[in-house]
Chain A
Amino acid sequence: MTSTSIDVASKVEAPSIAPSRGYWGPVFRRLSRDPVALIAGIILLCILAMALFSPWLAPMDPYKTSMINRLQPIGTPGHWLGTDELGRDMLSRLIYGARLSLLIGVMPIVNAFVIGSAIGIVAGFVGGKTNTVCMRIIDVFYAFPAVLLAIALAGALGAGIVNSLFSLTVVFIPPIARVAESVTTQVRSVDYIEAARASGAGSLKIIRCHVLGNVLSPIFVYATSLVSVSMILASGLSFLGLGARPPMPEWGLMLNTLRDAIYVNPWITILPGVMIFTVSICFNTLSDGLRSAMDVKL
């Protein structure tokens, strides 16, 4: 389920470039020479715009039901992508669905990035017993396959968006913390950190000025590679009925409620999945591009 990089994430080379003004320029230049990543990025921006401006883009009210217009096929005048099992306009629901689906898919990674990096950097920088304790606790979470852990937590806590966000955050903290720890451990033993310490810099200052700049980009690239898994899992939780609640427009939930119509109007039912797939594949492609543009080896 999860990509292998979670497990093969031990060998990380410390990048030699510090994020000064000149760091992002070359990265973007290299990224713009990668047409596949560029297209993925543009598609993602379009979907983001869809989420932000959905009230203006959606042709109809995504909640307005119509019993006589149920399950209209794709291409029906007025409902270009057909209607769902309650006669709601599919196009409008797909557009509005971007809001919730992106939120519940991306937020866990943002949370886990902040919390996981903090744990990993502190553990890696302090070392010794603190490191051992942190990493052993993290190991326990590795005893569960990601999907199982997410479903166990969400299932025990009960359905709801907040619970689903929480469960997914818990799922993604361990892998990010592990990467953060291994990069920080490598950076810690570099000569200029020694030099900074010798010239009297405190731990906090060293972390802020010297460590963060060197470890954040590999952790960031790694986190972006997890977004696609997170999107699939978040919508999967909704698909199981553990995330968003009806009648909210959310892609995973839409797949679930449309499943009963599979014999009536099969091609309508797959549309929300096309959206999840598109976002997920674009994030993966962009992350691969970012990885080579930032020259991060994970």
Chain B
Amino acid sequence: MNTYFLKRILYVIPITLAVSFFCFSLVHLSPGDPMDAVVSPDAPSEVVAMVQRAYGFDRPLPEQFGLWVSRAVQGDLGMSAANGRAVTTEVFGALKNTLLLAIAASMIGFSLGCTFGVLAGYYQGSLLDRLVTGFAVGGVSVPHYWLGMLLVIIFSVELNWLPSSGAGPGSSSDWNFEWSYLRHLILPAVTLSVIPMGVVTRTVRAMVADVLAHEFVEALRAKGLAERRIFLHVIKNVAPTALAVMGLQLGYLLGGSILVETVFSWPGTGLLLNNAIFQRDLPILQGTILILALFFVALNLMVDLIQARLDPRIQRG
């Protein structure tokens, strides 16, 4: 374990604290008393005082933050103001569905992105390159919530092939690996995969083109190495950056699926967050954002560590 790895791991601590502080202050950013969401405005003052004590709102802010963090560490993020259920239960239940969607979308997006990127990088300037590049620009520019609606119109309304909403038959939110469930996953996953596809294509294309322009490739060719072996050298050079980009994209999918989940009524964290915003359910809002952000921090850490492992130059800074 060298200093780079140690430093990078230790750096997570202040970031985690700062992220928690941000989520904590979200409640205080919102207009009105945070109490308003918990008790009705015409509740008797004893009730208000009691709830205030229970939630700790009667103490000074730094103390409230400390209390909140110490509870959060023990896995208690409070109760939903809307239905009284534990925030952690709600969020982790939804996170499962979001993860499923994000992983499906990233598998589609990454495999297409890598293939397109390598092809376009190899045949730079060709018609294929132009087609792929145009496709990728479209992928990063498309408002995905709109693309979702478009796919629903084509495949659900006009052709009636695939369901337009929900995660399974009926209104069930538990998932099984059966065709009746998989059908529900197709449209949201394809919709969500378009952005990572575009981003990965653009990155891989640029990287492949860059590596191919290096002199060592020429030297390998001159040496008489088969094109297939040269390809391996190219991949080795592209992999660290490509992996880093893909890791981050996976994180963006987790946090960014809210719009697509809303379009498809997919019972994940995005839909949970959306409902929480409109019911002014601040504990859920706070909890969902905290957990998603911590997930993202952990993912970032993993990406950095893997990248440094693959590319020792990074460790030397």
Do residues A148 and B258 form an inter-chain contact, with CB atoms below 8 A? yes
Do residues B15 and A140 form an inter-chain contact, with CB atoms below 8 A? yes
A-B contact count (CB 8 A): 152
Interface on B for A, CB 8 Å cutoff?
Answer: 14-15, 18-19, 22-23, 26-27, 29-31, 137-138, 140-147, 149-150, 152-153, 157-158, 195, 199, 202-203, 241, 244-245, 248, 251-256, 258-259, 262-263, 273-274, 276-278, 282, 285, 289, 292-293, 296-297, 300
Please, which residue of chain B has its CB at the minimum distance from the CB of A267? B153
Do residues A266 and B143 form an inter-chain contact, with CB atoms below 8 A? no
Q: Which of A115-123, A125-133, A239-247 contacts B (4 or more CB under 8 A)?
A: A239-247
Do residues B153 and A262 form an inter-chain contact, with CB atoms below 8 A? yes
Asked if A182 CB lies within 8 Å of chain B CBs, one says no
Which residues of the partner chain A approach B27 to less than 8 Å between Cβ atoms? 156
Interface size range on A against B: 35 or more
Cα separation A143 to B13 with both chains bound (whole Å): 12
Please, which residue of chain B has its CB at the minimum distance from the CB of A263? B157
Asked if A61 CB lies within 8 Å of chain B CBs, one says no
Asked if A255 CB lies within 8 Å of chain B CBs, one says yes
Do residues A232 and B143 form an inter-chain contact, with CB atoms below 8 A? yes
Which residues of the partner chain B approach A139 to less than 8 Å between Cβ atoms? 15
**Majority secondary structure of chain B interface residues (helix, strand, loop or mixed):** helix
What is the minimal beta-carbon distance from B159 to any residue of chain A, in angstroms?
Answer: 12
Interface on A for B, CB 8 Å cutoff?
Answer: 1-4, 7-8, 136, 139-140, 142-148, 151-153, 155-158, 228, 232, 235-236, 239-242, 252, 255, 259, 262-263, 266-267, 269-270, 272-273, 276-277, 280-281, 283-285, 288
What is the minimal beta-carbon distance from B164 to any residue of chain A, in angstroms?
Answer: 8
Which residues of the partner chain B approach A228 to less than 8 Å between Cβ atoms? 140-141
Contact of B18 among A140, A157, A259 (CB under 8 A): A140
Do residues B255 and A147 form an inter-chain contact, with CB atoms below 8 A? yes
Which residues of the partner chain B approach A241 to less than 8 Å between Cβ atoms? 278
Given the known interface contacts A152-B26, A157-B29, the answer about A262 and B157 at a Cβ–Cβ threshold of 8 Å is yes
Cα separation A1 to B153 with both chains bound (whole Å): 23
**Majority secondary structure of chain A interface residues (helix, strand, loop or mixed):** helix
Which residues of the partner chain B approach A2 to less than 8 Å between Cβ atoms? 252
Contact of B137 among A1, A269, A284 (CB under 8 A): A284
Which residues of the partner chain A approach B203 to less than 8 Å between Cβ atoms? 4, 8
Which residues of the partner chain A approach B274 to less than 8 Å between Cβ atoms? 240
Given the known interface contacts A156-B285, A263-B157, the answer about A148 and B293 at a Cβ–Cβ threshold of 8 Å is yes
Do residues B157 and A266 form an inter-chain contact, with CB atoms below 8 A? yes
Which residues of the partner chain B approach A252 to less than 8 Å between Cβ atoms? 143
Do residues A152 and B285 form an inter-chain contact, with CB atoms below 8 A? yes
Please, which residue of chain A has its CB at the minimum distance from the CB of B248? A7
12 further interface pairs, Cβ-Cβ under 8 Å (given A145-B251, A158-B31, A239-B259): A4-B202, A136-B14, A140-B18, A144-B22, A148-B255, A148-B258, A152-B289, A157-B29, A255-B145, A255-B146, A270-B146, A280-B143
Q: Closest 9 interchain pairs by CB?
A: A273-B146, A145-B255, A148-B255, A155-B277, A281-B141, A147-B256, A1-B256, A140-B18, A266-B153
Please, which residue of chain B has its CB at the minimum distance from the CB of A155? B277
Do residues B256 and A145 form an inter-chain contact, with CB atoms below 8 A? yes
Cα separation A283 to B153 with both chains bound (whole Å): 27
Central interface residue in B149, B253, B300, by most chain A CB within 10 Å: B149
